[in-house]
Amino acid sequence: MAISYYTQEGYNKLKEELNELKTKGRADMAKQIAEARDKGDLSENAEYDAAKDAQGLMEMKIAKLEGLMANARILKEGDIDTSKVSLLSKVTIKNKKNGAEFQYTLVSEEEADLKAKKISAQSPIGKGLIGKKVGDTALVQAPAGQIEFEILEISL
């Protein structure tokens, strides 16, 4: 699994979710399985099968989160070079076709939240912006075709 970079806030959310699943999630799942088991013959018990399937999916999610946590690195603002766009950069861009300006912060895929103007560095826009400097033009391949963005400002 590749190393993923997170803000302290994003790392803490991952940690909380993992803890929740390992404690409350597992306890709730065990209770559901026990209740389904008490309803009779396991060979014809759809509730029991569904509870066991749900348990398997939850354990897969726990394993995935544990893998992410094992390979997580926390980025601090002092680690970020604002001369070019990188993870955790706040970037102001202008659509060269219509003049619309946007400001986004580039984050890890797990922390992306468009409402909070946090986009994944793995998204088409994120990939197009990474490594660019103020004044550069980023070509982004979007479903509607290629879009050109001018990098106006890079900050934290």
pLDDT tens digits for 110-138?
Answer: 889 999 999 998 899 999 999 999 999 99
One domain for residues 83 and 145: yes
One domain for residues 87 and 55: no
Identify the residue whose tokens are 């399985």.
Answer: 33
**How far apart are alpha carbons 101 and 92 in whole angstroms?**
7
Which pair of tokens denotes residue 52? Answer: 């066991």
Give the domain-ending residue among 74, 99, 128: 74
CATH number at residue 147: 3.10.50.30
**How far apart are alpha carbons 72 and 17 in whole angstroms?**
15
- If one counts the domains in the chain, the total is 2
Q: What is the pTM of this model?
A: 0.68
Is residue 140 within 8 A of residue 124, CB to CB? The reply is: yes
Is residue 60 within 8 A of residue 52, CB to CB? The reply is: no
Q: How much is the pLDDT for 10?
A: 84
Backbone angle region of 145, left / alpha / beta, with phi > 0 → left and psi within -120 to 50 → alpha: left
One domain for residues 98 and 138: yes
Say if residue 35's pLDDT is above 90: no
Domain that holds residue 70: 4-74
